[in-house]
Amino acid sequence: MHEMSIAQSVLDIILQESRNHKVTRVLSVALKVGELSAVETESLRFCFELLTKGTPAEGAQLDIERVQVTCRCQDCGSNFAVHELIFSCPSCQGVRVEMLSGRELSVESFEAE
């Protein structure tokens, strides 16, 4: 499952950081997930819960921020949000667009004690 491997890599990052900072318990984790990364929020939570059992991250709250897909038009320079995966410029109908956000999948921060 896609979400399982993501949850695993999120956990790896947290545990690594926890060791570096001598953390005993992770309270919450903030994630940024781009709309294009095709992650199911609920199933990511479920996998994360499963994987954290018995680790310092057990019971940690997962804060997931969805990041909208945004592009910049290379013809007229305007920035726009992409809806329903239509990648053309709403101002000039140009299709030479550069993606600015939407693919990210990162651990922004986490709280621990």
Give the interface with Zn ion as residue ranges (CB under 5 A).
73, 75-76, 89, 91-92, 94
Distance, CA of 112 to CA of 28 (rounded, Å): 7
Q: Which is nearer to Zn ion, 12 or 75 (CB)?
A: 75
User: Scanning the structure block, which residue is given the tokens 């997931």?
Assistant: 64
Distance in Å, CB of 1 to Zn ion, minimum: 38
Minimum distance from residue 84 beta carbon to Zn ion (Å): 18
HSE value, Cβ hemisphere, 13 Å, CA-based, for 9 = 8
Select from 35, 67, 101, 98 the least CA-distant residue to 88.
98
Q: How far is the CB of 78 from Zn ion (least distance, A)?
A: 5
d(CA 26, CA 75): 46
69 or 89: CB nearest Zn ion: 89
